[in-house]
Structure 1
Amino acid sequence: MPFDIPGLRREEADIRPGDADPMMLKFSSSAAHMTGKPLVSSETFTWLRDHFKTALSQAKPELEELFLSGINHTFLHGSTYTDPGAEWPGWKFYASVNFSPQLTIWRDSPAFFTYVENCQRILQSGQPDNEIALYWPVYDNWDKYYEGATFFQFKIHSLGEWLLDTPFYQAGVGLMKEGYSLDFFSDEFVQSARVEKGKIRFKGASYQAIVVPQVGLMPLETLEKLLELKKNGGKVLFLGKPESVPGQFELEKRLTQLETLNRSVTVTEDFIGTLKASQILPESLVETGLKFIRRKTEQGSAYYLVNHLAKDVDAYILLNADGEEISLFDPYSGKMGTAQTRSEGGKKQVRVQLKAGQSMFVIVGAKTSSEAWSYWKPEGAPQAIAGPYQLGFLEGGPALPAAQTLTQLKSWTELNADAEAFSGTAAYEMSFDRPAGGAEAWLLQLPEVRESARIYLNGEYVGTLWANPFEIVLPRLREHDNQLRIEVTNLSANRIRALELSGKEWKIFHEINMVNKDYQPFDAKAWDPMPSGLIGEIRIQGLVRD
């Protein structure tokens, strides 16, 4: 899918344009929420890019879209498919994104898996917390005449046929853009619904209101139940009256019954305004451009915030959930701290700093951290860490290229034939003095990273960078001669390309259906070498607390 995150590569030649949609993704999580199932699973990252060409950084925002839709249990291809003793690259599945221990992507996958674990631990806890239950008029889809076909699938790759131009889709998108959270319900699910303390309770979750979009066909039993819920004090908004009933059995009789029931249906023209007037309020944080999902926890509430914008966000935001304390948790680094808050108009606001590409949990409720969250602002201009840079190749193949001394950072594929064919890990080593100034901390900003990097400062491991933005706050610097080591791992594509150019047959598996992203015969010989290593200028930026 396209994202506006600066530096995130999409590489049109290596992808098939994505056609996922938040409304489509919510079908699975809605069913789980309505029935009280705690896990919502996804076969994840099947065809993000061609084989051997997907970076961890390119997987992260796609993963976040799943989390934001309510999916909280991902499954990955590759790690169980191959005998560890099989000749490189091991045995492959036909789907392209392969998390195999034999491929280079595996080296820094632990950092990626830690992010997944940190997110899923919270997103699997507590209960869903959505305001709106939106009726899914499936009979309208079944009633359509799909080019004469008597068999129709609700396919991900044909959203234009069954979803995008429907009143259901328009109502759902309108609600989410406004800041409402929602689940979908079916005719069967609503039969067990009841009103409890003003909320409409389904088997697994409760909602402040039901919204019924314009419907062509609705079973009488569904309309009767909706009117019963409304009579019992539930908030049920109809955006139109059902026009007919499904099926031909006793049609005239049932149409007469529908006409009678429709006399009790009041159509809501401004359903967003009506919800707000009823104090069913959206989350105004969407005005910042941040995406979110919210869950109820034992302590209070947990918000998962994601910045997929082209810009950084530093703002005080109002949350509908209220609690004694508000803490922030960074699932990428694992850091947690108490947030800055302020009161405005009698309501508490929390300060959030999220750079483009970053995500964060906002925990509302009981105190979870004794330390204050660190908010930073730049101090002075960023300084370049100049060369020379010592480049040594550590592990990978088909052969380890010779070490190099570089005066500028460019793709290692430009160095020589061995480096062009190499897939694996290389280390960049350099030294620098602490810049002048009164900074309290220093932010290491890497240039283009192809594709992930482990950072060591003065012999100590600092962290792994695998997604945008490729930057990390460094521990205390020495005044002189700080030793910086950056271990960069590229993708397996260049080694596969070299293997095919050598003429050696490597597809040593049965019934593999090895195809490219367009389901055509796989041919890596036609690829250009993928840029690898560090490309550009390493910078260090002074920071002070804000």
Structure 2
Amino acid sequence: MGEITTVSGNSAKPWTRWWWMGNAVEEKELTRHLETYSKAGIGGVEISCIYGVKGEEGSYIEFLSPQWRHLVRYTLKEAQRLGLGVDITLGSGWPYGGPMISEKNAPKRIKIERHEDGSFSSEVEGTGQQVKRPAPGAEGHVMCPYTENALKEFTDAYKTFLSELEEYPRCFFCDSFEVYQADWTDDLPEKFKELKGYDISAHLAELSGKDSSEAAERVFCDYRETLFLMLLENSIKPWADWAHSHNVKVRYQAHGSPGNLLDLYAAADIPETEIFGGNNFDFLPEPAEGIRAIPASCPILNKFASSAAHLTGKRLASSETFTLHREHFCGTLAEMKPELDQLFLCGINHIFFHGSTYSPLSAKQWPGWKFYAPTHFDISDPLWHDLPAMNSYICRCQNIFQNARMENEILLYFPYHDMASKPGERQLRCSTQLDRWLDGTPFGETAFMLWENGFSADYISDRLLEKASVIDGVIRIADARYKILLIPKTVFMPSETIKKLIELADKGASIIFCDTLPKSTPGYFGSVHKFSGMETVNNASLCGRLLKIISRPCPPPISGGINTVKLRTEDGKRIYFASNLSAKSFAGDFKLDFDSEKTLIFDPLSNLRGYLNPDKQRSIHIELKAGQSLFIIETESPDKTPQWHWMHENRKSLLKQKGAWKIEFIDGGEKIPEKVNLDTLVSWTEFPGQEYKDFSGTARYSTEFEWNEKDCDEAILQFEKVHESAVIRINGHECGTLWSHPFELRAGRYLKHGVNKLEIDVTNAATNRVAALDRAGVSWKIFHDINIINLQYKAFDASGWGPRPSGIIGNIWLSPSMKRMAL
């Protein structure tokens, strides 16, 4: 199975959103950035043009000007030379729009007023929304997202740019839907009557949002579905067709849209979700400067994008990753890894960092040019020092996820019409604010129950369900295969879907309804429908019922186990990805669903691999500490890969240090602190002198130690606390980079009996240096528009931050270990 763990191509590597501030870029610096990105293990960039830097106005370049077009062409050629991919955000800032958009093609809204006599009247007006965070020359109206005329006006502005290209970008990108209050178009009444068969203007009372009757629910559903179909058919699909006519694909964030996210994502070549905020997993310390917490149900949103990819045979599902993940300059690689693992478990296999800012060497003040919202994957940030280690982990994982298909055995129906029938705001946005549309709904509760209980599911819409077939009791859509179709509690279901469910059931598909059967078809002309012969199961019994059809390889997190998903390669080999996102270590049996004499264990963090022999019950023993993950791969013919062994510590043994630690500060800051000798490892911010408290960068710890163990197979090097990442060398040999929990590695092959030398290059976060700048009143926040804001969208100020712990703290263990015997 060497081919599945051998990386090829740039899509397996993480990409990054690349902000061009004021488009003030030049060829030499573009090359420097791209070369540095490539060396760090970045696979590609997404060019995003935004507002500029104060004092640099003379270097600004007009959006779509001849000079801008030349620099984009130069970037495409340089990227090709370096093996990097390039995507481009059309427009500037967000949403789509700019000076090419006329007032008639700008967004509109309807205002409905109730009079004293009970009658209603309406008035249509422009929303007035302008492009947010635009680059110079890109200012203007937002594009109406519901009409082809608006789209054509927008795309026509790129004719000259496209005609001059020799190398093309891989994708055009469209960010999440943020066209606020846009709930009307001039031709909506005509389109509505064509689709729904009645005059929407005769139902202003129901559309006002002040009527809670069933009639109002049905009118709302018809109205919202019309708006959704206009978005899909007049904007998203034609946009994709336009891009394809130029041999360019589209990468698209559907969330935030007023419509069925599954169908919108399905229109893209690469559907993209996002993480907006961060999780504080149980094994991570509480962030000192706070966290913009995302709901536990966030994986449910992420799976909308991956589900659409799976059901349409798309190879990639991407994510805008680490947006506002932690406060500026506070995020660590260790905090990022569990987020990555959770995305992989959701079926996301193409990570985009949010993000990296073009910042020239001529920038007058560290930390250089910065986008207003973290995270900063920038060359000037200490985080960059060990980012290649995380990039390698991402690359190894994504290489497998991109070359095998997810085998989610459950299909979960998304009852869009129930959501669309709820009165409220006319533009019902399915955004990252899940409490507004997803949390607490029967679908949301069922989806989260499946996630917590270790059942991996894809979500399906009415439209996508039409493409389903059944062979030997298995539901098939594109390349995907499912054992069961689950219908959460649903009130309104289209008649076409009802007919399709009956057809699938008649052909042998397993279909289960949660709690009750649907009551009616949706819309103003909807009618009561009675099912017959369909199975219903209450939620309390659902897991037990599913376990009769689907086997789990091990207990899920809710039962003290771990998260797992299953994949299958083109030649039929099965692969499991297992991740421990809990605070407890896991050791137990892992039940395989294939017969194989050998099973390959692959640790994508260390790049170690080895074979295990399943027992007669097709089980293997696995062990995962908090934060660890691995792949379990079906194979037939073992190559030269050795046997895999879980290591058991003979005893936890402190490093037998000889003499003091020598600490030398080697990189970071205008002033490098003096060397220090230390007997006990404490945070370097506790060293006497303000320069240590203010330092952000890399320090080299070195010492000698004794190793005279004989009766052991391995030695495990473990650290109590690492702030924040560390490159380990023993006797001059680089052993690896520790950047994630549990901060340990196998060190036996680097040791010799007697005296050994240990060197640790430790890099902390940029936190302390930024706080020192703010305390000193240094002017580094020099950006137009919103400048730099904190997680609460207030002006960013780090002057009140105390010193953040830095370096190696506490104990270091070097424990003799033995191969664990089969259990």
TM-score by length of 1: 0.93
1:401 to 666, 673, 677: 673
1:294 matched residue in structure 2: 566
C-alpha deviation, 1:84, in angstroms: 4.2
Q: Does 1:202 align with 2:472?
A: no
1:464 matched residue in structure 2: 737
On the 8 A contact 1:398/1:421 being kept in 2, the answer is no
Change (3 A) 1:34 1:84: farther
C-alpha deviation, 1:539, in angstroms: 1.7
Measure the CA separation in 2 of the matches of 1:442 and 1:375.
Answer: 12
2:648 matched residue in structure 1: 377
C-alpha deviation, 1:436, in angstroms: 4.5
SS of the equivalent of 1:58 reads: helix
On the 8 A contact 1:439/1:543 being kept in 2, the answer is yes
Measure the CA separation in 2 of the matches of 1:419 and 1:36.
Answer: 54
On the 8 A contact 1:316/1:350 being kept in 2, the answer is yes
Measure the CA separation in 1 of the matches of 2:487 and 2:760.
Answer: 55
On the 8 A contact 2:731/2:750 being kept in 1, the answer is no
SS of the equivalent of 1:50 reads: coil
2:38 matched residue in structure 1: none
> Structure with the greater relative contact order (CA < 8 A, sep ≥ 6): 1 or 2?
1
Measure the CA separation in 2 of the matches of 1:276 and 1:466.
Answer: 37
SS of the equivalent of 2:799 reads: helix
SS of the equivalent of 2:323 reads: coil
On the 8 A contact 1:28/1:40 being kept in 2, the answer is yes
Measure the CA separation in 1 of the matches of 2:575 and 2:600.
Answer: 10
1:309 matched residue in structure 2: 582
1:439 to 692, 712, 718: 712
Measure the CA separation in 2 of the matches of 1:323 and 1:504.
Answer: 63
C-alpha deviation, 1:408, in angstroms: 1.1
Greater displacement, 170-179 / 136-145: 170-179
Measure the CA separation in 1 of the matches of 2:439 and 2:656.
Answer: 50
TM-score by length of 2: 0.62
Task: Report 1:260-409 matches (<5 A).
Answer: 262-269=531-538, 270-277=541-548, 279-286=549-556, 289-297=561-569, 298=571, 300-343=573-616, 347-367=617-637, 369=639, 370-386=641-657, 387-409=659-681
How high is the sequence identity, in percent, across the aligned residues? 38
Equivalent position amino acid for 1:106 in 2: W
2:344 matched residue in structure 1: 67
Measure the CA separation in 1 of the matches of 2:533 and 2:709.
Answer: 75
C-alpha deviation, 1:285, in angstroms: 4.1
On the 8 A contact 1:285/1:319 being kept in 2, the answer is no
1:100 to 365, 378, 382: 378
Greater displacement, 460-469 / 173-182: 173-182
Measure the CA separation in 2 of the matches of 1:407 and 1:281.
Answer: 53
Equivalent position amino acid for 1:151 in 2: Q
Equivalent position amino acid for 2:673 in 1: P
1:243 to 519, 523, 547: 519
Q: Does 1:24 align with 2:293?
A: no
Gaps of 5+ in 2: 1-278
C-alpha deviation, 1:299, in angstroms: 5.2
Measure the CA separation in 1 of the matches of 2:566 and 2:636.
Answer: 16
2:456 matched residue in structure 1: 181
C-alpha deviation, 1:324, in angstroms: 4.2
Gaps of 5+ in 1: none
Equivalent position amino acid for 1:327 in 2: L
Equivalent position amino acid for 1:19 in 2: P
C-alpha deviation, 1:281, in angstroms: 3.2
1:492 matched residue in structure 2: 766
Report how many aligned residue pairs link the two structures: 530
2:289 matched residue in structure 1: 13
Give RMSD over aligned pairs: 1.9
1:145 matched residue in structure 2: 423
2:685 to 384, 406, 413: 413
Measure the CA separation in 1 of the matches of 2:773 and 2:402.
Answer: 43
C-alpha deviation, 1:9, in angstroms: 2.0
Greater displacement, 367-376 / 348-357: 367-376
Equivalent position amino acid for 1:124 in 2: Q
On the 8 A contact 1:132/1:207 being kept in 2, the answer is yes
Measure the CA separation in 1 of the matches of 2:564 and 2:372.
Answer: 33
2:240 matched residue in structure 1: none
Measure the CA separation in 2 of the matches of 1:195 and 1:299.
Answer: 20
C-alpha deviation, 1:184, in angstroms: 0.5
On the 8 A contact 2:552/2:591 being kept in 1, the answer is no
Change (3 A) 1:442 1:304: same
Measure the CA separation in 2 of the matches of 1:38 and 1:30.
Answer: 11
1:427 matched residue in structure 2: 700
Equivalent position amino acid for 2:420 in 1: W
Change (3 A) 1:421 1:12: closer
